Structure 1
Amino acid sequence: MIAHDREWHRERQTGIGGTDVAAILGLDRYRTPLDVWRQKMGLDSEQEPHPSAEAGKRLEGVIARWWSDDTGLPIKRRRLVARHKDAYCLLGHTDRVIDTNPRGILEIKNRSERVWQQWPEFSAPASEYYQVQHYLHVLSSKHRGQYHWGELAILVGGNKLEKVPLELDPQYEQVIEYLIQWWERHVLGETPPEPATEDDVKTLYPVVKGKELEAADYTAEIYEKAKGIKTIIERLQDRHEKLETQLKIAMRDAEVLTKDGETLATWKKMKDSRTFDMEAFREAHPELYEQYRVPKEGSRRFIYKA
């Protein structure tokens, strides 16, 4: 299994898979285009799977059989990685093939009740939606008349099976064009995408040299908006602290504030704890203190000046 996983990860580096699409489009909550690029370029080591992802992987077969029993539709596992007929850089590795006529694909997910409540009604979030569309288009490009539909099977909260059907969207062809251009420009061209987050900036520019940048007009506009919002937040924060202080004064030695039987707020004492007195240790054992000091890289701090 470990060897198979490593082989799959190496295969993923040779093209764009369904789980990469939303990130490349800037629609993934957890990954940016730069994250995808670094993975394709082999610049990031393989990460240990998140516990929820590991659980989903181990439960995949169970969820698939549950879905098949529930729908009465036959499924089979497709082990080979498919590639788009006209775009070799587009990969497809679906969880299961729905063995009907026409064939469909089944993507399996494991989600908590809280996460499921955030899903759009009768559809799917961008990551899952584009993943299914990607696989449908990759497979249908090689099998005319097949793979025009798919379904998401979601285990919710560990005890409930939800289903989200999806049809092949012809407009995804525009996404395919963008993905091909993205692959050619950034991966084949070895050019990183523009940063999308602060972490991206830190990754691309780990060393700063004190240079100045003359703000373009649109950057100056962003600055004015950000500064204005920051001022509003500071005023609201100050107002909030004053109001909260009034509540604490009203509560005095009470721990719970109620109104008509409803709990409005609590102000309880936390458990006592023990902490390490660094200053006392430094004075008592200066040599030992110095022995265990390690350098810490300074971080960049953004300060509004004007």
Structure 2
Amino acid sequence: MRQVLKKVTLALVASAACSVAIAQADKWPSRSITIVGGFPNGSGVDIYARKIGEALTAAWNVPVVVDAKTGAGGNIASDMVARAQPDGYTYLFGTAGTHAINPALYKKLSFDVENDFTRIAILGDVPNVLLINPKKHPDIKTCADLLKLMRDKPGTLNYGSTGNGASTHLAGAQFASAAKVDMVHVPYRGQGPAMTALLGGDVDMFFNQSAPAIASVKGGRTIALAVTSPTRLSALPDVPTVAEACNLPGFVSTTWYGLFGPAKLPADISAKMSAEIVKIVSTPEFKAWLTDTQGITPAADPSPAAFARIHKEDLKKWAEIVKISGAQVD
């Protein structure tokens, strides 16, 4: 009899817990949501996160705040969200940098990129654009011109990046390895300082991420020699791929953006957030904004399951590229 009563009691407790969870999900979201980004205002991450925030605010009529917690290659923001309460009100706008490159780059992280987060949706494929300053190099019109100069004067040209081990650094390292050229890496603290260095003539080139790169090209401040994506970008249709322009068949260097929540986020809240994000990024208008202004290829499948598969594959891929680059951060 006691065993029967115990089983009945456990069933009632489980049923009550399920009812509470459903009630919580029905009420969620009832207050402000924060999306934490690990990179400065004006970066590609910041631009995209704010666009997502505006769409979520319109859909749910609650404020969505984008909070930039910069530093340590995005690790400060990642750590903050990994430690946040899994109540559905704090998310991370993560990247392949924060969640696939950094595990290989940093000797120790304060969080586990696979187990301390809930994957919500993958938000697109992000290429880099090979930029030069036309005032410093007026004779360079193509990637072939650049490679000829690099081979004529090995080790004399340099390239800026947004930081040691960032995608802007690793794209350059991949390029140097594939083209068999010697160029010097000069890391800066973010996109702004790196672009300032390029425009000021302190560096010869910059593999900048697509969104800020497109803005600088269309503004006439820089010239784009090539894009690191497998195909040309609709935002820069006249700019060839690295594979085309530099005679490097198969060359691709892209990363991704993705939305994460803390681990143990209730499944119903996670599913609701994921469904809304997928709905937003799948509209023709949003896809056009991504491709035509940001140079980002929308994810073919933004779902958490696809996100998990891509994340796992990228952990291995970027570990190999980091090894080639020799980059390491204590």
Q: Fold match, TM over 0.5?
A: no
Higher share in strand: 2
Structure showing greater radius of gyration is 1
Query: Which one scores higher on RCO, CA 8 angstroms, separation ≥ 6?
Result: 2
TM-score for the superposition, normalised by structure 2:
0.21
TM-score for the superposition, normalised by structure 1:
0.22
